[in-house]
Every structure is written in structure tokens, then in C-alpha cells.
Chain A
Amino acid sequence: MQKNNIPLAYRSINKFNSTARSNTSRVIEAPAHPNDPELLCTEKVLPQNIEEEIKDGFFELKQKFKEAGPSSIYISHVVLHEKHPILKKIEVETLKKLLLESSVIYLSVGQILYRQGVQDAFVYIILFGKLLLQVPASYSKKEQQSYIPSANGTQDLIDQEDLESLQN
């Protein structure tokens, strides 16, 4: 998804089939209804220092007259709205609302955001940093799980071995 170390923002534009295709755009071919819009994606090169500029909008707040004590991080919505390739596209008021409804997650190198196989109802937007998407080697065939829709419309999680035994 990411080539080299250049930060990229991805802009997706829905255009109808009759629209002329840009030579610089990659067209995602997916089976769809003929009247469905087609997805065109362009890669936009961001300034090299974009992450540093976004980090400039993070402030640590401490109590003024006590040396020890809890501190908190304030994230400037103004900086995010000016610099962030996704968040700059929405109104400031919408961004404020989004920040209020969201949790802020800081990860150190090697920390895991979520593991394979867990149920996680969150959608994440990266403010800065890089994450790897991995299928761990330990997640072997034995541990691979399949999803079988059950009669009531929910999905049951079963082991691959169980699935094979069911099929046999």
C-alpha cells in the first residue's frame, strides 16, 4: 500500500462510467452493477515534514503550581484541520465533534492496536506514525477460522479443523 517512505494521502473519487479516466489514476475493477459508480483513486504526495507539523499541534498540559501530578495531552483541532490530509476535508465543527466522540490512542514501537481474531467495533484514523498490517506466522492453518452464516443471520466462529470435519 505504501511505496518507499513518502507519506501519501489517498483520495477517492466516485465517478460514473461515462466519465473520462485520468491517466494518473488507478481504477479499481470490481464486479458491480453496470450503473454503479466506479472508484477512481489517486495517490497524493504529502510534504515530507507533514507528520512533524501535525505533532506541533500536540500540547502537554500540566498543573501550574505543582511539580508532580497528572498531565494531559491537548490536540489542536486547528492544526489538524490545517494539516491532516483527511481531517482538512471536513468542517472544523465536524472535526471537533469527531474528536469529542473519539478516543485518542498512542502507540509505541511494537505496540499492537488490535490482534487478529478479536472483535473490535472501532474505526481508526491515523494522525501520525506508521502501522504494519500482519497475519502472524503463528496464525497457522490450524488456527485459521472460518465464518459460517447461521440460520438466524448471525455468524458463528469455528475452527478450520471443525469446518473440515463438518464438511467430511
Chain B
Amino acid sequence: MIGKVNIGWTLGEEILFDRNMQIRKEMAVAETESCLIGINKAQLAIMQKGLLESGNEKDYFVIESILKGNYLIKD
């Protein structure tokens, strides 16, 4: 086991920041009954672009900083 993640964490965000990690390097398996939301990275990019265009920079940077932060912590 290389790690354990729960509420407050994201999974798979490395595909947004590292072109060498487009293929999963690990397996993610539920230790308890779990629920997640999954968004395609292209859809996420469109959504974030929409946030910037609508002037909602705050949400853009919140999403970006959470995903980037989790990626760097796991790195």
C-alpha cells in the first residue's frame, strides 16, 4: 500500500499536471463503502475556462490550488 485517501482528497489529478502520468501508476480500491464524483479532464478544463470568462476567478483558483496542492503532496 502506498497511501490512503478519504474525504478532502482528490484522486487522479496527476493527469492534469504531468504528461508522463497519463496512465495510472497505482490501483485505487475502496477500503470502505465510498462515493466519489469523477469529471473528465477535458470537461474540467471547459468548466474552468467558463469560470474565468464569467469573472469567477476565485472558484477557478480554488479548484486549481486544491488539485495542484494534492498533486504536489502526493508527488
Residues of A within 8 A of B (CB): 1-2, 7-14, 28, 30, 39, 41, 44, 46, 50-51, 54, 58, 84-86, 89-91, 94, 97-99, 101-136, 145, 147, 155, 157
The answer to whether A113 and B29 touch across the interface, beta carbons within 8 angstroms, is yes
Which residues of B sit under 8 angstroms from A126, Cβ to Cβ? 5-11, 34-36
A131 and B29 in contact, given A2-B4, A39-B72, A126-B10 (Cβ under 8 angstroms)? yes
The answer to whether A89 and B66 touch across the interface, beta carbons within 8 angstroms, is yes
A90 and B70 in contact, given A111-B30, A119-B22, A122-B12 (Cβ under 8 angstroms)? no
A54 and B7 in contact, given A105-B37, A122-B40, A133-B2 (Cβ under 8 angstroms)? yes
The answer to whether B19 and A41 touch across the interface, beta carbons within 8 angstroms, is no
The answer to whether A1 and B3 touch across the interface, beta carbons within 8 angstroms, is yes
The answer to whether B30 and A108 touch across the interface, beta carbons within 8 angstroms, is yes
The contact of B6 among A7, A91, A118, A145, by CB within 8 Å, is A7
By secondary structure, the B interface counts as mixed
The answer to whether B28 and A133 touch across the interface, beta carbons within 8 angstroms, is yes
The answer to whether B68 and A102 touch across the interface, beta carbons within 8 angstroms, is no
The answer to whether A129 and B67 touch across the interface, beta carbons within 8 angstroms, is no
A114 and B7 in contact, given A127-B35, A127-B36 (Cβ under 8 angstroms)? no
Q: 1/0 contact trace for B17-28 toward A, CB 8 Å?
A: 001101111111
- Distance (whole angstroms) from the CB of B14 to the closest CB of chain A: 9
- Distance (whole angstroms) from the CB of A46 to the closest CB of chain B: 7
CA distance A110 to B36 in the complex (A): 15
Other 15 A-B pairs with CB < 8 A, given A14-B65, A89-B66, A98-B39: A2-B4, A2-B6, A107-B36, A109-B31, A111-B29, A118-B23, A121-B41, A125-B10, A126-B35, A127-B35, A129-B7, A131-B28, A132-B29, A134-B2, A136-B27
